[in-house]
Amino acid sequence: MSSDTGGFQALQEGDPPVVGGYRLVARLGAGGMGRVYLSHTQGGRPVAIKVVRPELAEDPAFRRRFRREVEAARRVMGAYTAELVDADTDGVPPWLATLYVPGPSLTAAVARRGPLPVSAVLWLMAGTAEALQAIHGVGVVHRDLKPSNVLLAADGPRVIDFGISVAADLSSHTATGSTVGTPHFMAPEQATAGDISPATDVFALAQTAAFAALGEPLYGDGMAPVVLYRIVHEQPDLSRLPEALRPLFARCLAADPRERATPAEIVRWCRERLEADADPGTGPALWSEVTGPEATVPGPARTPAGPSTAAATLSLGPARRQTPGGRRALFAAVTAGALVVTGATWFAGDRLGLGERAAGASDPTTGPAKSPRSTASGARTSPDAGPSARASQPLPGASPSGAVLLSPVWLDRTNSLSLDEPMLRSDLKGDIRLVCESGVDCTLQSDTGRFVQLFNGKAASLDVCRHLLGGAVGADYRTWSLAAAEAGTQLCVGDDSGGVGALAIQVKQTALPQEAFLQLGMTVWSKTA
């Protein structure tokens, strides 16, 4: 789901015309938690309405997490945070509404223009740190601060997505030995499933700002376990950062949380240097260049004259704007990409340094997940292997049910899977592909297949998958967002010719779209079974 503006899509058949009294105008996107629509308040302010998927709404664990998200959002108010407008966590299905404002994510802005100049990084850090002050002030720790969760509005950054944040005093949120967040932007104590505190967000803020300054993660690219090992055991290389920023980054990235700068100190440090810089090219004009042109937001939907419940058509007229003194007043908001839980859950096992296992989840049909280090002998071959060696790596194993088992299977943006032979291809001609676009959530996509996720710990079997796939009709099921998927997630997959299979996610890395991959366990049942 994109955080960029301008991605408005007309409502389609099956979309509700009204949610909780809000008349829908357009689609904004979709993710693992649900579909997001554009609507407006009675006063004309644009809002983003997130409607939870029905199958998720039936999961008690998800309902609890969704209530936590809403409660956290209700408690946080600040100039640089997202504002919750309305919600119904007990609705059928549940939904929430937040004020919407055009503005790219930091991820999208960096992808468009490259690294930000020092003054823009200072603006970014000051505004984001002020947002953390508001968040921490009500006892909430964000836990997943990263470039895609920072929007660049015309008047400053906005911190968004409290989907996996939790009140600091709710220590029972995560299970023992598990961590919540996005691997490339975690703090050391978070990566080792240690104690989480506001200082954890400060470490993530420095990593996020470093991404803005460098155009890449501070701790480098690569598989999540490798990056996590660096975060826990190595000192960051600050020599690549502009010299003016290094003292602040050194404090924010201290291994000991007690030695890190506070958000108030970060705000003061950045403001002092911004005020000392009298260059007119470092003020609002520079920030406007960073954020890019503002997209035109469709106006409110017309209320039908009759009792018809047909979906409203997409209006291309401009939304109501307030322009006191000629300056646009933009409101703190959450865009489509902000409304999805985008952090992956990574299991730290017994806290043994994170170098041996990336995930403690296992495929119920194929046994424990192997470490990424072991995949050289599995589905992913070495870079030196020729095309014939990489064309098909079925690694079949016989099961009592006659199913073909493959594990581990490495799926990235260069290869694909199929329910027919060859099941693993070194090209994109297979029917199951991993698609990641800049500023957009990674998805599994298929031309002739359908995806359905299993919940409540239900194990994949031929009968279960046939039943679920039988009710999966429509284009929505041909693209499945991985935003809310984590290690242990299981998906049933079926194609139009009657093929049925199951995918079990063992390792997921989608924080860096250009390096995204999945390590999977794959089960394919015979069409005659």
Residue (of 451, 421, 436, 511) closest to 219 by Cα position: 511
**Burial letters 339-368, b for 16+ CB under 10 A, else e:** bbbbbbbbbbbeeeebeebbbbbbbbbbee
Q: Hey, which bits of 258-375 come out as E strands? A: 345-347, 362-363, 367-368
CB 521 within 8 A of CB 359: no
CB 62 within 8 A of CB 32: no
Instruction: Give the other-Cβ count within 10 Å of 326's Cβ.
Output: 5
Catalytic residue among 15, 59, 90, 144: 144
Geometric angle at alpha carbon 42, from 41 and 48, rounded to 5°: 10
**For 421-484, what is the HEC assignment?**
CCCEECCCCCCEEEECCCCCCCEEECCCEEEEECCCCCCCCHHHHHHHHHCCCCHHHHEEECCC
Residue (of 368, 386, 379) closest to 412 by Cα position: 379
Rounded to the nearest 5°, which phi and psi values hold at 130?
-65, -35
Tokens of 439: 């500023």
Cβ burial of 520 (10 Å; 0-12, 13-18, 19+) is buried
Instruction: Give the other-Cβ count within 10 Å of 463's Cβ.
Output: 11
Residue in the block written with tokens 């967002």: 481
Cβ burial of 427 (10 Å; 0-12, 13-18, 19+) is exposed
Instruction: Give the other-Cβ count within 10 Å of 79's Cβ.
Output: 12
Catalytic residue check, 463: no
DSSP 386-406: -HHHHS-----EE-TT--EEE
3-state secondary structure of 8: coil
279: Cβ contacts below 8 Å, ≥ 6 apart: 119
CA pair distance 316, 313, nearest whole angstrom:
10
Residue in the block written with tokens 């990263």: 146
Active site residues: 144
